Chains A and B, each alone.
Chain A
Amino acid sequence: MPIELIKLIPWIPLLGAVLCAVCCMKPAWRKAAGPISVLSIFIPFLITCGVYSAASGLQGDDKVQTIYQWMSVGGFSVNMGYFIDPLTMIMLFVVTGIGSLIATYAMGYMKGERGYARFFMGVSLFIFAMTTLVMADNLVLLYLGWEGVGLCSYLLIGYYYEKPEAVAAAKKAFIVNRIGDLGFALGIFLTYMTYDTVSLSVVTSKAVAFLSDPNYIATSADLWIPFLLMLGAFGKSAQIPLYVWLPDAMAGPTPVSALVHAATMVTAGVYMIARLIPVFQLSPYALPTVATIGGITALFAGTIALCQYDLKKVFAYSTVSQLGYMFLGVGALSSFGGIFHLFTHAFFKALLFLTAGSVMHALAGQLDLRAMSGLRKKMPVTCWLMFAGCLALAGFPFTAGFFSKDTILAEAMVRGTGEHGSNLYFFLALMGLLTALLTAFYTFRLWFRVFMGPEHFEMGDDHGHSDDDAHGDDHSHAHEPHEMPWWPMNIPLVVLAFGAIFAGMIVHWTGWMEHSIETSTAQPAIALNIQTDPQPTPAYEIITVSNTTDTHDTATEHPAAATGHSAEHDRAHGIHILMMWISSFIALLGIGLAAYFHWLNRPLTDKVAAKFGMVVEVLYNKYYIDEFYDLVIVKPLRTLGHGFYRFDQAVIHGLVITVGYIPRLAGWSIQPTQSGKMQGYGLGMVLGVAIAALLVFKWAF
């Protein structure tokens, strides 16, 4: 397949979106939107597969495929162009592959909805933006995709726009993302200022060159750029402090949650950092910060997930938590780990969301864990599909999540131990392990609650599927939960489940992803540095020191790159093996605890919960972070707005009016002289003459 076809990838979904928009216009046309959308995502997937080998082999300038120049002012030039390297291809696989599956599922899930066409328009548009994001050859085009996915997220979260909470959630998502985007935009500005270009390939290669130059002195811009870009990543990928929008975003239809808010969009931040990792390496504090935030977020969100009762909220916090892992991965200088986890997470989290969607669909919109139990009989397929997803998420040995999570934890541990080990990474690795325990626990808490135990369920009020006449064929037996149809809903789930179980093994044992990352810009630049100059440059002490151990991954594949570092390599390998054991144990422990508390002995759980009422309350209310933000940021700003408005009206405009009154006031003050009395006038004239005469004499003599 000719490589040029890759240029079409974003535009096919866009065309699909336009067609869907056309379908919106007439009710009769609406049904066509689903297939159109699926096709518009699936064709790019086929193209991705078709050009994969060609694209992976691109060298040098060929990697940049330009369509046209988007904007240019002076030296600032932005192309509508794509940067094709293996990382791009991995991301394209995830986006179009998972996207096609989810869209297919959605054809069934959204069937009969009034906004069916609108939904698929949003999905196609999203895929356009997301593919643009991952393919962009420059930061501004990346920003276009970045904001574009934000917009689609907004539109899709607000899909049920008659529900105030959906509207609020959509708004929140967009605005919180905007906060991050501002950082990103400023990061772009600073990048342009520093590198005189916004082209990703040039920026990264320049950064690599700086890193390789032992005499290079970091500028303050070098220190700041990563932090600004990071802000964007935190917003998009829902990290502390900007994670608050993601749980609320579950107000959107479930396929949206799966596609946008689990599999693809939220991982954009990870992708961006991985893509620009040399730039991040230039600042000695950037990657440790990323790792720290990631680790803390992972733990923090994991604890919240423990006590949520809303099915999708649990997964939402789980997503936040897993994204934290990914950041920990890239922060630990293992962009492979981050991207690997991104890849596997896309499968199992999409699967989990979609199966949750099936449950929700079956229970007419019921999402409360307390209102359902023992559904395995009613929905066997869903039950075991979700089980597969849960295993992967919990990191059950040899599932996808196990390998990817393990890679990250091991990398962190490698950074945290050894002769140059940094305590920070050691602690982060420990936090990661703790989080793994929590993950296993809350995942299976959910699964056991829903599918095990005595059968019991309360139907929801079917919000989201409301007031639609065409919708009824599925709900003729609305009082009984029912299994989903195989086509179009369960078949994609099976594919996802397959991925959730086996993707990790494939990646781990074939090593293609590691190889891909190495040959892309996402590869940390230290290996190069070490080869050319064993002495780390002083400016990057923290990272480079810890990075002397970094060659272990590459060493397995490229012994040449690791010459003289086999000791380190051995150590790293040992840690990897050790961590596999530990995390297997932890996963099993978590699953066992969950089984005990949420399947076998539920009353005990309630007692324990009652005993730690305060803690549960705090966790249930998500540490009151939303309230905190509301109190500290939203309310004051709005009060400020009211204040400014009043100030504007009273003081600024009042001042204008007052100034306008000055002439009037002056007029009133001299109006008495116009008394109408002739003597008065005469007196005035005479006085005037006298004053004039006196004045002139005073002046003249």
Chain B
Amino acid sequence: MPETVMNSLTLSHFLMTGAILFCLGLVGFITRRNLIIMFLCTEMMFQGVVVTLVAFSRFHLNDTGQTFVIFVLTIAAAEAALALGLVVLLFRRKGTLDSLVWSQLSG
């Protein structure tokens, strides 16, 4: 990325990007019914946070935020592993990934 572009970008641009990612994830989570896609949406939200964190890290001129990001990514990975295991389990049970089949428990 050229320097000039970087220079013209302010914190709020990155925050916006993060927020948009986060919100896209949110919307996706609510609107999509495929379990894997829903999970990916939560990952997207995580990534939105990650962007925010990195941006703040840069803004504050310390690397705490970036350290945080590392841990967030780790957790995201762990969740992904868990999610995949779960999805496999669920798929074996019902033969579908539609989240709405999992709505027996209610009230």
Contacts and interface: CB of A to CB of B under 8 A. Distances in A.
Interface residues of B, number: 14
Contacts of A671: 107
Interface in B64-89: none
Interface string B2-34: 000000000000000000000000100111010
B106 A675 contact: yes
Among A674, A675, A679, max chain B CB count under 10 A is at A679
Interface in B33-71: 33, 38
Contacts of A675: 103, 106
A676 B103 contact: yes
B30 A686 contact: yes
B99 to A, nearest CB: 5
A679 B106 contact: no
Interface in A500-519: none
Contacts of A674: 106-107
Contacts of A662: none
Contact of A676 (B26, B29, B33, B105): B105
B103 A677 contact: yes
Contacts of B102: 678
Interface string A669-701: 001001111110011001000000000000000
Interface string A566-601: 000000000000000000000000000000000000
Contacts of B33: 679
A26 B31 CA distance: 92
B104 A682 contact: no
Contacts of A678: 38, 99-100, 102-103
Contacts of B106: 674-677
Nearest to A684: B30
Contacts of B100: 677-679
Given A671-B107, A674-B106, A674-B107, A679 B99 contact: yes
B104 A676 contact: yes
A683 B30 contact: yes
A455 to B, nearest CB: 93
A601 B38 CA distance: 118
Contacts of B38: 678
Among B31, B102, B103, B104, max chain A CB count under 10 A is at B103
Interface string A645-686: 000000000000000000000000001001111110011001
A682 B100 CA distance: 13
B21 to A, nearest CB: 15
A682 B103 CA distance: 13
A677 B38 CA distance: 13
A678 B41 CA distance: 14
Contacts of B31: 679
Nearest to A676: B106
A686 B27 CA distance: 9
A600 to B, nearest CB: 98
A343 B67 CA distance: 116
B107 A682 contact: no
B107 A679 contact: no
Nearest to B107: A674
A160 B83 CA distance: 91
Contacts of B99: 677-679
Nearest to A687: B30
Contacts of B104: 676
B27 to A, nearest CB: 8
Nearest to B27: A686
Contacts of A676: 103-107
Given A679-B31, A679-B33, A686 B103 contact: no
Interface string A248-290: 0000000000000000000000000000000000000000000
Nearest to B99: A678
A88 to B, nearest CB: 82
Contacts of A677: 99-100, 103, 106
Contacts of A686: 26, 30
Nearest to A690: B26
Contacts of A682: 26, 29-30
Interface string A106-118: 0000000000000
A681 to B, nearest CB: 9
A664 to B, nearest CB: 14
Nearest to B38: A678
Nearest to A683: B30
Nearest to B32: A679
A677 B30 CA distance: 10
A671 B105 CA distance: 13
Among A671, A675, A678, max chain B CB count under 10 A is at A678
A674 B107 CA distance: 5
A686 B42 CA distance: 13
Nearest to B35: A678
A682 B29 CA distance: 7
Nearest to A677: B103
A679 B33 CA distance: 8
Interface string B90-104: 000000000110111
A683 B99 CA distance: 14
Contacts of A683: 30
A678 B31 CA distance: 10
Contacts of B29: 679, 682
A674 B106 CA distance: 6
Nearest to B106: A676
A677 B107 CA distance: 11
B60 to A, nearest CB: 23
A652 B48 CA distance: 59
A683 B30 CA distance: 6
A686 B23 CA distance: 10
A683 to B, nearest CB: 5
A683 B33 CA distance: 13
B33 to A, nearest CB: 7
A678 B97 CA distance: 13
Nearest to B29: A682
B72 to A, nearest CB: 19
A415 B103 CA distance: 101
A663 B79 CA distance: 39
Interface in A132-185: none
A679 B104 CA distance: 14
B68 to A, nearest CB: 21
Nearest to A686: B26
A679 B105 contact: no
Nearest to B103: A676
B41 to A, nearest CB: 9
B16 to A, nearest CB: 16
A677 B31 CA distance: 12
A679 B28 CA distance: 10
Interface string A349-376: 0000000000000000000000000000
A677 B102 CA distance: 7
B106 to A, nearest CB: 3
11 contacts: A675-B106, A676-B103, A676-B104, A677-B103, A677-B106, A678-B38, A678-B102, A682-B26, A682-B29, A683-B30, A686-B30
Interface of A: 671, 674-679, 682-683, 686
The 3 A-B residue pairs with the shortest CB-CB distance, nearest first, are A676-B106, A676-B103, A677-B103
Given A686-B26, A686-B30, 5 more contacts: A675-B106, A676-B105, A678-B38, A678-B102, A679-B31
